[in-house]
Amino acid sequence: MSRARRSDPAESPVLEDRAQEHLRFIRSAMERAGSFTAVPGWGGVAMGITALAAAWLASRAVTPEAWLSTWLVESVVAFLIGCAAIRVKAARSGTPLFDGSARRFALTLAPPIAAGAIATVALARQGQTGILPGLWLLLYGAAVVTGGAASVRVVPLLGVSLMALGAAALAAPAGWGDAFLAAGFGGLQIGFGVYIARRHGG
């Protein structure tokens, strides 16, 4: 029977087309399924907008304390926005908040953020606020890379971009700190946030 089919010139193209169509279906299902991420795109956009506002306010601060206070308030606002956005996205996708990818993302994000908070306190006490923008971008980028390691590719790419910006900020004059923070926490987060929101479910 198989010999007969092999010799039938009309059979092979039909079978090949059907097999190819099956493979396309499998590839498509895998691609769509692989695009799910707990990282909230619109949350990133909101965090980016508040970061731009913070950068504008901080650039007008007259004392290092006022400058630091502005960014500390921004970090709390961004944290709350991030938590709310992860919660909303997890609820929309039916993913358990404390037993799913959102939890893994938050847990892997936390260590570099905690390291950044400790380093901030230590450096602020010594009055070395000039290197904080680079340090924050570097550690937040590292947090996004580790947190997004199991996510869609664009998330760790955002982290690497933030790290590169942080490295550049550390090499640049201290006076450019707010511009780097606006570019990283603002521009990059808004850009990547819009992309994630449009391509990866909100």
Partner 1 sequence: MAEPSRKRRIEGGDVHRDRPRGKSDPTAPPESLAALDRLIHERVRLGIVSALAVNDSLTFQELKDLLGVTDGNLSVHARRLEEAGYIACKKTFALRVPRSEYRLTPEGRRALERHLEHLAAVIRWARS
Binding site for partner 1 (CB under 8 A): 1-2, 5-6, 11-13, 15-16, 18-20, 22-23, 25-26, 29-30, 32-34, 36, 93-101
Shortest distance (Å) from residue 5 CB to partner 1: 7
Shortest distance (Å) from residue 33 CB to partner 1: 3
Query: Tokens at residue 32, please?
Result: 């769509």
Shortest distance (Å) from residue 199 CB to partner 1: 14
The residue among 43 and 89 lying less far from partner 1, judged by its C-beta, is: 89
Which residue in 58, 117, 50 sits closest to 85, CA to CA?
50
Q: Distance (Å, rounded) from C-alpha 75 to C-alpha 80?
A: 9
Q: Distance (Å, rounded) from C-alpha 107 to C-alpha 102?
A: 9
Q: Distance (Å, rounded) from C-alpha 158 to C-alpha 140?
A: 10
Contact predicate 136/166, CB 8 Å: yes
The residue among 70 and 146 lying less far from partner 1, judged by its C-beta, is: 146
Shortest distance (Å) from residue 16 CB to partner 1: 4
The residue among 51 and 90 lying less far from partner 1, judged by its C-beta, is: 90
User: Can you spell out the DSSP letters for 44-82?
Assistant: HHHHHHHHHHHHHHHTT-SSHHHHHHHHHHHHHHHHHHH
The residue among 34 and 128 lying less far from partner 1, judged by its C-beta, is: 34
The residue among 10 and 171 lying less far from partner 1, judged by its C-beta, is: 10
Shortest distance (Å) from residue 36 CB to partner 1: 6
In this structure, the number of other CB atoms found within 10 A of the CB of residue 152 comes to: 18
